[in-house]
Structure 1
Amino acid sequence: MSNQAVAAGVGLARVMAHCGGSPSAAVHYLAGAMASAPGNPEPYAALAELWRVKPSELAEVVQGADSLRTVLAQSYVNFLRGDMDGAALAMGSVTGVRPDIAWADAPWFGDERFLGAVSADALAEAAMRTMDYGHDLDTETMRERFRPWFQAVDVVSAREPLPEALAKMAILLRACGLTDASFALCDQADSVERIMLTEVVRAGTWRKVGDYQQTVAAFERALALEPANWSLCLDLADVHAEQGDFTSAVRLVDQGLRHEPAELSLRAAGAAYRARLTGSVADLSELIELAREMPNDSYRNLLIDHACAGPALPAELVAEARHIRNG
């Protein structure tokens, strides 16, 4: 949006706020101007003016934020109120929905008052929210839009180096293709305290760069930190299965089942990997039964593909499994 159009939107918002008596409509127009030109300070100045004049009415408008524009306005209102954590979380939510807009170019997001007060936990959660909808962030264009996020991560991680928060921030860096920076943040987290999550994040980053051995090593370190964690057993089993090592995959699933014998995904993975390894009819039959209950279709389909490649399995049983996969 041009500066002239932004000014027009701000002017209309002021009319609606004062003469029209509708803070809600004013917020709508101001947030629209922000969305079209996130770095333009004029809409924020107008919203700050509205906050000074009608704080209770504006608070009511943004309190039950249920639209993209209202959440965007909520992020700045939270900043004005001194609620920097709330401001960060709202910004993360907006960014997750439309990462193709450079929302974080908002002047307040790089303000020292924000960067000096937002907690590491809140910024980490906000960073996770930017990835909620699975958009591809690993492009030069996206990295440019996320530049203020990277600056915020640098500042807050240096000020408050909490290992779990740093690990979550490292996930965003990885998603944006900044794998070296993601590894560095994991190393920084380790220098404070070694935790399981950091190793899991590191494993995912090694997987992204295509290093299988380092991926396995990181997952093994994570499992050593939390040996009773069935989910880690399954993660590591899946990595081995991806590489065709179904003997190790079965061993790790069995290890997880000792800690959580009723877990559906473990039972299904165990049946699939044994069927792939040995051609067991009983295991493929068990997978077929379990597959009908699995909520994650993509993981279910992956397990069926592995199982159906087992040696000398009956064609009719394989067809039944593939019918579930394709259905």
Structure 2
Amino acid sequence: MGLARVLAHCGGSPAAAVHYLAGAIASAPENPEPYTVLAELWRDKPSELAEVVRDADSLRTVLAQSYIGFLQGDMDTAALAIGSVTGVRPDIPWTKAPWFGDGRFLDVVSADALAEAAMRTMDHGHELDTDSTRERFRPWFEAIDIVSARRASPDALAKMAILLRACGLTDESLALCDQADSVERVMLTEVVRAGTWRKLGDSEQTVAAFERALALDPANWSLHLDLADVHAEQGDFASAVRLIDQGMTYGPAELSLRAAGAAYRARLTGSPADLGELIELTPSLPNDSYRSLLIDFACAGPDLPAELIAEARRVQDS
């Protein structure tokens, strides 16, 4: 902190000062001192500091950007930046920063910005369903409670519910979905609700939620695929194929839809042609685990040639 103060006030290097101040914040986000120095730097050298945080190409500059947003009264930018930082390093309790719990932030930040910030916390696929993460993320949950009490858009509420689910707060996630429905019933809410029931292992509720989503957006090929996947997990490949065929009406060129259709038809009918199509398509699928799952389903089809199954397994292992 001493070095940061010197750099901020005497050293003429706002970039270096931000580097050390961000390091101090990372070590103790609840300590008000680094924020005080950053506020002084913003007061004394606003143009230089604005230039430093404008090119947010590192965790430390994005962190500084979040507090500068707060100082400027741009609470949406502050929220989005702290969401991005949290997504990179969820092991640090960034939102214990004094400004994040300040009424000046919570009373002004938009529900849409907080929802997008919540989504950014999950950008890097870290495991969040742990006791330690729930403790670190408590300020996020408190902010969601406060901001969702306004008449927020259902899409914003649904996005916030995704973070609650990711953190293992499934009851709270479902309750926020119910709150979104009280504003307006939209497809996204049902998709989020379906994902939460799926996490809880309730396939009937999952199917019901996806069916409601599909009723709200019947031309959405992705929803047909989601529902087909759930039926496949239940072993109902006839329904899975029917839904894929319906989805193909709206997304005939979609790779994942075509691959799933080939896999589920191969599983249902034992068609070598369908397994062959799957073998051709799966190397291009971006999700390795989904590719492997489809191959597992397809290879269990009746009376498929052993050499074709072996070829599919080679693709699976590649």
TM-score range relative to shorter protein? over 0.9
- C-alpha separation between the residues in 1 aligned to 2:268 and 2:24? 59
Displacement of 1:129 in angstroms is 0.4
Task: Select between 40-49 and 155-164 the one with higher mean Cα deviation.
Answer: 155-164
Q: Secondary structure at the match of 1:203?
A: helix
- C-alpha contact (below 8 Å) 2:110/2:147 kept by paired residues: yes
- C-alpha contact (below 8 Å) 1:234/1:256 kept by paired residues: yes
The CA deviation string for residues 36-74 of structure 1, in whole angstroms up to 9 with x for no partner, is 000011110111011111111111111101111111111
Aligned residue number for residue 73 of structure 1: 64
- C-alpha contact (below 8 Å) 1:119/1:160 kept by paired residues: no
Aligned residue number for residue 104 of structure 1: 95
- C-alpha separation between the residues in 2 aligned to 1:262 and 1:71? 39
- C-alpha separation between the residues in 1 aligned to 2:286 and 2:6? 51
Q: Secondary structure at the match of 2:39?
A: helix
- List, as ranges, runs of 4+ consecutive aligned residues in structure 1 with deviation greater than 6 Å: none
Q: Residue 321 in 1 paired to residue 315 in 2?
A: no
Aligned residue number for residue 301 of structure 1: 292
- What amino acid is aligned across from residue 133 of structure 2 in structure 1? M
Displacement of 1:290 in angstroms is 1.5
Q: Residue 162 in 1 paired to residue 158 in 2?
A: no
Displacement of 1:125 in angstroms is 0.5
Q: Residue 262 in 1 paired to residue 246 in 2?
A: no
- What amino acid is aligned across from residue 92 of structure 2 in structure 1? I
Aligned residue number for residue 19 of structure 1: 10
- C-alpha contact (below 8 Å) 1:230/1:257 kept by paired residues: yes
Q: Secondary structure at the match of 1:110?
A: coil
Displacement of 1:80 in angstroms is 0.4
- C-alpha separation between the residues in 1 aligned to 2:64 and 2:99? 12
Which of 105, 115, 121 is residue 130 of structure 1 equivalent to? 121
- C-alpha separation between the residues in 2 aligned to 1:291 and 1:76? 45
Which of 262, 268, 277 is residue 268 of structure 2 equivalent to? 277
Displacement of 1:294 in angstroms is 2.2
Q: Secondary structure at the match of 2:249?
A: helix
Which of 217, 227, 233 is residue 226 of structure 1 equivalent to? 217
- C-alpha contact (below 8 Å) 1:41/1:107 kept by paired residues: yes
Aligned residue number for residue 95 of structure 1: 86
The CA deviation string for residues 202-232 of structure 1, in whole angstroms up to 9 with x for no partner, is 0000011111100000000000101111000
What root-mean-square deviation, in Å, do the aligned CA atoms of Structure 1 and Structure 2 show?
A: 0.9
- Aligned runs of 1:155-194 on 2, under 5 Å? 155-194=146-185
- C-alpha separation between the residues in 2 aligned to 1:322 and 1:259? 31
- C-alpha separation between the residues in 2 aligned to 1:56 and 1:79? 16
Aligned residue number for residue 22 of structure 2: 31
- What amino acid is aligned across from residue 246 of structure 1 in structure 2? F
Q: Residue 61 in 1 paired to residue 52 in 2?
A: yes
- C-alpha separation between the residues in 1 aligned to 2:151 and 2:52? 33
Aligned residue number for residue 114 of structure 1: 105
Q: Residue 141 in 1 paired to residue 148 in 2?
A: no
Displacement of 1:295 in angstroms is 2.6
> Cα distance 1:232–1:312, how it changes in 2: closer, same or farther (>3 A)?
same
Task: Select between 288-297 and 103-112 the one with higher mean Cα deviation.
Answer: 288-297
Displacement of 1:20 in angstroms is 1.3
* Count of residues paired in the alignment: 318
- C-alpha separation between the residues in 2 aligned to 1:185 and 1:293? 37
The CA deviation string for residues 149-196 of structure 1, in whole angstroms up to 9 with x for no partner, is 001101111124210000000000001111111011000000010000
- C-alpha separation between the residues in 2 aligned to 1:58 and 1:160? 36
Displacement of 1:144 in angstroms is 0.7
Displacement of 1:291 in angstroms is 1.7
- C-alpha separation between the residues in 2 aligned to 1:13 and 1:227? 57
Displacement of 1:128 in angstroms is 0.3
Percent identity between the aligned chains? Answer: 81
Aligned residue number for residue 238 of structure 2: 247
Q: Residue 82 in 1 paired to residue 73 in 2?
A: yes
Could you state the TM-score of these two structures normalised by the residue count of structure 2?
A: 0.98
Unpaired segments ≥5 residues, structure 2:
none
Which of 186, 190, 201 is residue 210 of structure 1 equivalent to? 201
- C-alpha separation between the residues in 2 aligned to 1:13 and 1:259? 57
- C-alpha separation between the residues in 2 aligned to 1:286 and 1:177? 38
Displacement of 1:292 in angstroms is 3.0
